[in-house]
């Protein structure tokens, strides 16, 4: 194994291959606070990519209700139980990653879901963390909670699927960091399914190969965000390019959210893959739970998000979520307006921080009529 | 005396029924017509070699717990082809692929070029490739008539709609086939790991672990049948390089038990075993 640097862990770690970061890394931020679990993203992906024979059960994109939701079943709990001692010292991870805790004869610590684990794609939907006692809904704050977690492939910097494949059939594109299964080379051993801790590689029994999210690379190559981003009703997603921490730029939307404001956090960083989908943690969830999912900085991220209304630059950037189909490489706030531009500096979107509001009087004085809100 | 004669005849008859005594190498006996299936009588008079299997523990992922103990091998050859029958114990037939469902399989391996310097027995090495002929139980099921729908694998599956079955696409038309391939990228690339096929085997070449690739056609074919506790599989292919009459090359075997989660590098295998071609007399 090679020694590589994982900035999410604040330390070096062991990985199957030497560090080889792409020229630029596709990355995304999902705002969990805005997701309503309408599953439009899931259907957009399903319709576009996985409508064929053998793909019936596949959800390259899924939305699960935390704490109980999971697809495939208990994908997270099983590995968390296998991976002992996930302690942090400040920003440094003291525990072992799935690469460092690989059993003898294995490349990573993993497990393989069985058919029935895929049978309940929305198990736990809208289930609260605790039983709601009679009358509890009448008081504030509500002590019970759940939130929605939308998931796609994380296009990790250190993919476990890639490390697991004994044939080198999985590769990370040097031009954009997207992780793909070579469908001409895969022999369907399912080692990648076993290795990926997020279980975002799926075996297709009709083609006999494993398949996964491709980040809609044909769209990204044309500067357009993936299907699950542009179809999102809640406008919770923003796709872009993430720099290394030491090269972060304040005008890069992803860098600003992840590296500078540290408001968007990786999912299960302790696994060690340096995943590239980042989450703004839910602000009504106990911070201890958020820390287990999103790492030790969850508390600070929740605090910063709560203050976003008083933070013009952050609020402005959050307004760009779902505002355009195009990938935004740079953003700038000027007064009450925020603009996004593509990689060539061409402005692709301009939105106000606050939408103009006009309040129509309830009574039409001229016609002596009371207005109603029905059409 | 009469009693001793009867005992002698019974012993002789039993010996004849069992066939020739086991051989410490694989002997491909000359025969004009090679059998296509494992049950044909032609195999009975062919010497059997019992090859001990070892776990693949050279490269990750390794198999650390031994499963199948041995594979029984018989071979026949003529001037053009070799037929090899492999038999191993497996009381669980695994011929349906799926998530976490592995399939039974076996393979034979020979040096691509015969010579004194043998390639590494574990998938060959750079500059010294090996030819592999690989048989798989799910491919056998397809060749034997299993259909190409998800309901052939999951009889109770519920499917709303496939785009390639839209009413606007005439069944069997080019447009319909093209739409079906859009959602089957491996098939579109000619990587036929599942779906319709005419033979249950494939010709492969390798030059080290992880390098297995489709090889030049060796005209391979095969037939496998499962009885209650074992598989019998015949693999036929072009005569290996260097296997003229009374000449010797080498061969290796591998077996996968799907029910034990074996796939790819997780397999039971042999080292090189001498393979000789002898006349039938």
Counting every residue written for chain A, the total comes to 375
Q: CA B54, CA A58: separation in Å to the nearest integer?
A: 36
Q: Could you say which of A105, A184, A211 has the minimum Cβ distance to residue B64?
A: A105
Closest CA to A276 of A172, A364, A182: A172
Torsion (CA) A17, A23, A26, A27 in degrees, nearest 10: 80
User: Is there a domain that residue A61 lies in?
Assistant: yes
Cα(B104)–Cα(B85) distance, integer angstroms: 15
- In angstroms, what CA-CA distances link A57 with A61, A116, A149, A206, B270? 12, 11, 19, 12, 38
Q: What residues of B are in contact with residue A52 (Cβ under 8 Å)? A: 162-164, 180, 182-184
Query: Which region, left, alpha or beta, applies to residue A135 given φ > 0 means left and ψ of -120 to 50 means alpha?
Result: left
Asked if pLDDT for residue B3 goes beyond 90, the answer is no
Across the interface, whether the CB atoms of A118 and B209 are under 8 A apart is answered: no
Element (DSSP H or E) covering residue A175: none
Rounded-to-integer distance, Cα B160 and Cα A128, Å = 31
In a domain, A130, yes or no: yes
Q: Please, which pLDDT band fits residue B15 given cuts at 50, 70 and 90?
A: very low
Inter-chain residue contact B194 with A202, CB threshold 8 Å = no
Q: What are phi and psi of A112, to 5 degrees?
A: -115, 120
Helix (H, G, I), strand (E, B), or coil: what is residue B132? strand
Q: Which helix (H) or strand (E) holds A46?
A: helix A40-49
The span from the CA of A318 to the CA of A176, in Å, is 24
Average pLDDT over residues A293-299: 97
Q: Give the span between the Cα atoms of A248 and A256, in whole angstroms.
A: 8
- β-pairing verdict for B26-30 and B70-77: parallel
Bridge partner residues of B214 (DSSP): B204
pLDDT for the residue numbered A124: 93
CA dihedral A354→A358→A359→A364, nearest 10 degrees, is: -170
When CB atoms are compared, the residue of B60, B148, B263 closest to A190 is B263
Mean pLDDT of B258-271: 98
- Residue A153 near residue A198, CB atoms below 8 Å: yes
Residue with tokens 């080290």: B208
Q: How many domains does chain A have?
A: 1
Is residue A179 helix, strand or coil?
strand
B183 to A50: CB separation less than 8 angstroms, yes or no: yes
Residues of chain B above pLDDT 90, percent: 89
Among A128-137, A252-261, A266-275, B215-224, which stretch is predicted with the lowest mean pLDDT? Answer: A128-137
Distance (Å) from the alpha carbon of A192 to chain B's nearest alpha carbon: 11
Q: Give how far the C-alpha of residue A11 lies from the chain's centroid of Cα atoms, to the nearest Å.
A: 23
Q: Kindly list the distances between the CA atom of residue B184 and the CA atoms of A179, A199, B195, in Å, as whole numbers in the listed order.
A: 19, 20, 10
The CA distance from A128 to A147, in Å, is 9
- Predicted local confidence at residue B16, as pLDDT: 46
At residue A140, the pLDDT reads: 73
Chain B residue numbers with beta carbons less than 8 Å from the beta carbon of A112 are 99-100, 261
- Residues 6+ away with beta carbon under 8 Å from B3: none
Going along A243-353, which residue ranges are E strands? 265-266, 277-280, 330-334, 337-341, 347-352
In sequence order, the β-bridge partners of residue B50 are B72
Question: A195 falls in which pLDDT band (50, 70, 90)?
Answer: very high
At B123, list the tokens.
């998938």
Residues of B in contact with A204 (CB under 8 A): 184, 186, 194
User: Confidence band (pLDDT; 50, 70, 90) for A176?
Assistant: very high
Is residue A362 one of the residues assigned to a domain?
no
Print the domain residue range for A189.
2-280
Pairing of strands A2-6, A237-242: unpaired
Tens of pLDDT along A211-249? 999 999 999 999 999 999 999 999 999 999 999 999 999
Q: Which domains does chain B have, with CATH numbers?
A: 21-148+201-278 (2.60.40.1190), 158-194 (no CATH)
Nearest residue of B to residue A118 by CA position? B99
In terms of CA atoms, which chain A residue is nearest residue B206? A167
Percent of chain B with pLDDT over 70: 93
- CB atoms near residue B50 (< 10 Å): 13
- Assigned domain for A373 exists: no
3-state SS track over A193-219: HHHCCCCCEEEECCCCEEEECCCCHHH
A53 to chain B nearest CA, in Å? 7
The mean predicted confidence, pLDDT, of chain A is: 95
d(CA B195, CA B197): 6
User: Is residue A335 domain-resident?
Assistant: no
pLDDT of residue A98: 98
Q: Which residue has the higher pLDDT, A76 or A84?
A: A76
Q: How close B35 gets to chain A, by Cα (Å)?
A: 29
Spatial neighbors of A219 by CB under 8 A, at least 6 apart, are A225, A226, A227
Q: Which residues of B fall within a CB distance of 8 Å from A104?
A: 62, 64
Take residue B114 and report the two structure tokens written for it.
Answer: 């015969």
| Residue A331 placed within a domain | no
What pLDDT does residue B12 have? Answer: 47
Of residues A6, A8, A34, the one with CA closest to residue A298: A8
CB contact under 8 A, A54 and B64: no
The pair of three-digit structure tokens given for residue A146, joined into one six-digit string: 């759940």
ipTM of the complex: 0.92
Cβ contacts of A51 on chain B, cutoff 8 Å: 161-163, 183
Predicted TM-score (pTM) of this structure: 0.93
Interchain CB contacts (distance < 8 Å): A and B: 141
pLDDT of res. A133: 76
Q: Is the pLDDT of residue B281 over 70?
A: no
Closest CA to A33 of A305, A228, A248, A293: A305
User: For residue A120, which of A170, A55, A75 has the smallest C-alpha distance?
Assistant: A75
The CB density around residue B160, as the number of other CB atoms within 10 Å, is: 6
Q: Do B189 and A183 touch (CB under 8 A)?
A: yes
- Residue A224: CA atoms inside 13 Å, Cβ hemisphere, count? 11
Q: What CATH number has the domain bearing residue A49? A: 3.30.70.20
Question: Is B63 a residue whose pLDDT tops 80?
Answer: yes
Residue A53 lies in a domain: yes
pLDDT at A327 over 80: yes
pLDDT digits (tens, 9 = 90+) for A66-82: 999 999 999 999 999 99
According to DSSP, residue B49 is labeled E
What confidence score (pLDDT) does residue A118 get? 97
User: Which regions of B154-267 does DSSP assign to beta strands (E)?
Assistant: 201-206, 213-214, 221-227, 230-238, 248-256
In this predicted structure, the answer to whether residue A255 has a pLDDT above a threshold of 80 is yes
Residue-wise pLDDT tens digits, B106-136 = 999 999 999 889 999 999 999 999 999 999 9
Cβ atoms of B46 and B74 within 8 Å: the answer is: yes
Give yes or no for residue A345 having a pLDDT over 70. Answer: yes
Mean pLDDT of chain B: 93
User: By the 8 A CB rule, do A89 and A6 touch?
Assistant: no
Pairwise CB contact (< 8 Å): A205 & B148: no
How far is A118 from A205, CA to CA, in rounded Å?
14
In a domain, A271, yes or no: yes
Chain A residues inside the 8 Å CB shell of B187: 207
Q: What is the pLDDT of residue A85?
A: 82
Cis (ω within 30 of 0) for the bond into B61? Answer: yes
Chain A residues at the B interface, defined by Cβ less than 8 Å, are 49-57, 104-107, 112-115, 117-118, 164, 166-168, 183-191, 193, 202-209, 211
Chain B positions in Cβ-Cβ contact with residue A167 (cut-off 8 Å): 210-212, 264
> How far is it, in rounded angstroms, from Cα A321 to Cα A237?
6
């Amino acid at each position: 194994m090679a020694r590589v640097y994982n900035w999410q862990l604040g330390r070096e770690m062991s990985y199957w291959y030497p560090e080889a970061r792409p020229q630029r890394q596709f990355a995304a931020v999902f705002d969990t606070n805005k997701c309503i679990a309408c599953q439009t993203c899931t259907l957009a992906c399903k319709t576009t990519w996985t409508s064929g024979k053998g793909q019936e059960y596949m959800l390259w994109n899924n939305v699960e209700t935390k704490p109980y939701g999971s697809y495939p079943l208990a994908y997270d709990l099983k590995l968390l139980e296998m991976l002992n001692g996930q302690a942090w010292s400040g920003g440094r991870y003291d525990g072992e990653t799935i690469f460092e805790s690989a059993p003898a004869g294995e490349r990573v610590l993993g497990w393989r879901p069985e058919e029935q684990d895929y049978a309940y794609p929305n198990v736990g939907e809208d289930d609260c963390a605790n039983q709601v006692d009679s009358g509890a809904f009448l008081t504030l704050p509500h002590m019970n909670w759940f939130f929605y977690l939308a998931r796609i492939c994380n296009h990790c910097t250190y993919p476990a699927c890639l490390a697991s494949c004994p044939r080198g059939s999985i590769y990370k594109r040097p031009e954009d960091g997207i992780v793909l299964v070579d469908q001409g080379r895969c022999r369907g051993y399912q080692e990648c399914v076993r290795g990926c801790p997020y279980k975002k590689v799926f075996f297709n029994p009709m083609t006999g190969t494993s398949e996964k999210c491709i980040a809609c690379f044909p769209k990204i190559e044309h500067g357009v965000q993936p299907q699950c981003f542009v179809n999102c009703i809640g406008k919770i997603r923003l796709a872009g390019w993430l720099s290394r921490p030491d090269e972060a730029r304040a005008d890069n939307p992803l860098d600003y959210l992840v590296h500078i404001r540290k408001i968007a956090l990786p999912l299960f960083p302790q696994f060690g893959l340096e995943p590239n989908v980042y989450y703004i943690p839910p602000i009504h969830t106990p911070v201890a739970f958020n820390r287990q999912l999103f790492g030790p900085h969850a508390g600070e991220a929740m605090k910063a998000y709560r203050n976003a209304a008083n933070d013009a630059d952050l609020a402005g950037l959050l307004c760009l979520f779902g505002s355009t189909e195009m990938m935004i490489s740079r953003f700038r706030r000027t007064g009450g307006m925020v603009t996004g531009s593509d990689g060539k500096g061409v402005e692709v979107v301009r939105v106000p921080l606050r939408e103009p509001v006009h309040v129509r009087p309830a009574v039409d004085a001229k016609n002596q009529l009371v207005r109603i809100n029905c059409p | 005396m009469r009693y001793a004669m009867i005992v002698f005849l019974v012993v002789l008859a039993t010996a004849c029924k069992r066939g020739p005594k086991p051989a410490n190498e694989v002997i491909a006996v000359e025969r004009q017509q090679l059998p296509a299936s494992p049950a044909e009588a032609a195999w009975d008079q062919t010497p059997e070699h019992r090859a001990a299997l070892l776990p693949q523990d050279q490269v990750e992922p390794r198999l650390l717990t031994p499963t199948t103990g041995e594979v029984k091998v018989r071979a026949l050859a003529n001037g053009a082809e070799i037929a090899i029958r492999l038999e191993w114990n497996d009381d669980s037939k695994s011929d349906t692929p799926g998530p976490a469902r592995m399939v039974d399989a076996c393979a034979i391996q020979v040096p691509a070029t015969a010579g004194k310097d043998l390639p590494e027995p574990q998938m060959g090495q750079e500059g010294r490739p090996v030819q592999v002929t690989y048989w798989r139980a799910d491919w056998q099921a397809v060749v034997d008539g299993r259909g190409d729908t998800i309901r052939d694998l999951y009889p109770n599956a519920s499917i709303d709609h496939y785009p390639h079955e839209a009413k606007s696409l005439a069944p069997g038309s080019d447009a319909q086939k093209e739409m079906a391939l859009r959602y089957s990228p491996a098939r579109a690339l000619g990587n036929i790991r599942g779906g319709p096929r005419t033979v249950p085997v494939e010709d492969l070449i390798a030059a080290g672990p992880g390098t297995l690739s489709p090889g030049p056609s060796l005209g391979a074919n095969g037939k496998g049948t499962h009885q209650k506790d074992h598989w019998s599989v015949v693999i036929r292919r072009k005569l290996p390089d260097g296997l003229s009459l009374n000449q010797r090359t080498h061969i290796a075997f591998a077996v996968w038990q799907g029910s034990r989660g074996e796939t790819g590098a997780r397999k039971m295998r042999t080292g090189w075993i001498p393979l000789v071609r002898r006349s039938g007399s």
